[in-house]
Structure 1
Amino acid sequence: MKIIDPHLHLFDLSQGNYQWLKPENPPFWPDKILIEKNFSEQDLVLTAPLVLAGFVHIEAGFDNQQPWREIAWLENSCNLPFKSIAMIDITLSNEVFLQQLKKLTVYRSVVGVRYILDDDALAILSDKTIHKNLESLAVHKLSFELQMPLTDTPAVDCLVEMLTLVPRLKVCINHAGWPRVAEQEPSCWLANIKRLATFEQVLIKCSGYEMADRHYPTGWPQQIISRCIESFGIKRVMLASNFPLNLFRASYQQTWLHNTELPYKPEQLQQLCFSNAQDFYQF
């Protein structure tokens, strides 16, 4: 079975900054040392019956001031088919934003950008000046990777307004919008993903469960994936690894075996693990 992994990170600590990986900086995970090292595409090892046909590299804090440096490093060091999601600050003035965008779009692998919202989602999405920048992304046919907790209903209200005002912008929700492990039936999260699913330009990507809880119940990801498929439909859901952070819980091979052994038809698994990513990220 062919895999396109639509959410992973590679590190070169000798070239990038990676402030978040340093022990003196948050997040203060006691096991962060497991990922404080270099990771290259040679570490993306899958064995039969799985074949890695390509991947999408999500910005990893290589250089937030000059984000094109990360893309240049990737394009010089990777041989597998891949696409890249670059970091760009969506709160910049439109003039500076366009200058950075121009530098990023020189690189053939760039298909989208990410600016992590997380706990600042409400403040950032409330700022109407970002709409012009997001519209610029749409004009350049670049997608926006949305990372924020979808349990934050006031922020989701602002997001819904933004999606209405910038209907041409393709958006991919990262890490399933951070559902909470403690909730048996995550009603707030579920209500908000159903709201967002009404926008045809929005997709959702399921990964990163280990960031919410290293010891999540075995069946919890399947529950989340099922809710996402019910809300968005099979064509707008992607499964991913979040490598190397998945190593907090399982190996790369085990992570993808868990994804490909879910109780769906073979053609549905192909969509979730390959063709949806192939289409969205323009392979």
Structure 2
Amino acid sequence: MKIIDPHLHLFNLEQGHYQWLKTDSPPYWSDKKTIRQSFTEKDLALSVPLQLAGFVHIEAGFDNQQPWREIAWLEDSCSLPFRAIAGVNLLLPTSEFQQILDKLDKFESVVGVRDILDENACAYLSNPHVKENLARLSQQQLIFECQMALTDVVATEQLIAVINELPTLKLVINHAGWPPEDIDSKQWKNWQSGIQALSGYENVAIKCSGFEMVNRQYSAPWQQHVIKHCLATFGLDKTMLASNFPLCLFKSSYQKNWITHFENQPLSTNELELLCYKNALRIYKIPI
């Protein structure tokens, strides 16, 4: 089965900054050393019955001030079909934000940008600069990779308001919107409500990945609950499975990560092809 991995990170520690990977910088993970090394596409090893046909590289902090440097490295070093999501500070004045977009526009692989919202989602989504910059993304038909917790009811409402203001903004929810581990909690219900509300927009898709960031030893039943709910709401055409490589290595190998994504799910070969290949091919316009 062919795979397009729509959410992974490659590192070049010799050329990039990667401040977040340094021991004395947050996040202060005790197992950070597992991923504190360079990773290239040669490390994306899959074996039968899986075959990696392409991928989407998500910015990884190579150079937060000059994000085009990361893209230049990728385009110079990768041979597999791929697309890139660049890191851009949404809080920048729109003139500076546009200057960065103009530089990124020179690279064929760039199809969107990301600025991690997470706990700052409310502050970001209520900021006039952010709204104007998201409007620029919409105008230039660039994807916004949205990483935030959909358990945050207020932030989710703000995100929906932005989507209503910018109906042509292409948006992809990262890491399934950070579902909580306790499926009997109020937070889980909040997450379900957020997923349900966002699923109604044709311009919003979702990626299921990053489970190891919730718990390094997450359970398979919990993972399947998350994927099942995303499929029940977003549907087969707007849901993607992804790895979050190399962070998935906190839990298991790249191969095992993919196998556990869809084992025990009652999915046909055609359905798996949509979740693992065709949707990413279409949404990110992978050159295959």
Alpha-carbon displacement from aligned partner over 1:161-213 (angstroms, at most 9, x marks no partner)? 10000111000000000001123462110011111111111000000000110
Structure 2: stretches of 5+ with no match in the other structure: none
Alpha-carbon displacement from aligned partner over 1:236-278 (angstroms, at most 9, x marks no partner)? 0000000000000010011111224332111110000000000
Give the aligned residue type for 2:29. W
Question: By how many angstroms is 1:118 displaced?
Answer: 0.5
Question: By how many angstroms is 1:102 displaced?
Answer: 0.2
Native 8 Å contact 1:135 1:168 kept in 2:
no
Give the aligned residue type for 1:45. A
Which residue number in structure 2 is paired with residue 190 of structure 1? Answer: 192
Which residue number in structure 1 is paired with residue 21 of structure 2? Answer: 21
Native 8 Å contact 2:90 2:129 kept in 1:
no
Alpha-carbon displacement from aligned partner over 1:84-131 (angstroms, at most 9, x marks no partner)? 000011111111111000000100000010000000000010113322
Query: Aligned to 1:205, what secondary structure does the other structure show?
Result: strand
Native 8 Å contact 2:220 2:260 kept in 1:
no
More off after superposition, 91-100 vs 178-187: 178-187
Task: Give the Cα–Cα distance (whole angstroms) in 2 for the partners of residues 194 and 146 of structure 1.
Answer: 16
Residue correspondences, number: 283
* CA root-mean-square deviation: 0.9
Which residue number in structure 2 is paired with residue 282 of structure 1? Answer: 285
TM-score, normalised via structure 1 length: 0.98
Give the aligned residue type for 1:34. T
Q: 1:233-244 maps to which residues of 2 (within 5 A)?
A: 233-244=235-246
Query: Do residues 115 (structure 1) and 118 (structure 2) align?
Result: no
Task: Give the Cα–Cα distance (whole angstroms) in 2 for the partners of residues 200 and 269 of structure 1.
Answer: 21
Task: Give the Cα–Cα distance (whole angstroms) in 1 for the partners of residues 220 and 285 of structure 2.
Answer: 33
More off after superposition, 78-87 vs 175-184: 175-184
TM-score, normalised via structure 2 length: 0.96
- Percent of aligned pairs sharing the same letter: 52
Match of 1:253 among 252, 255, 258: 255
Give the aligned residue type for 2:230. C
Which residue number in structure 1 is paired with residue 90 of structure 2? Answer: 90
Task: Give the Cα–Cα distance (whole angstroms) in 2 for the partners of residues 234 and 4 of structure 1.
Answer: 15
Q: Which runs of 4+ in 1 moved over 4 A?
A: none
Which residue number in structure 2 is paired with residue 204 of structure 1? Answer: 206
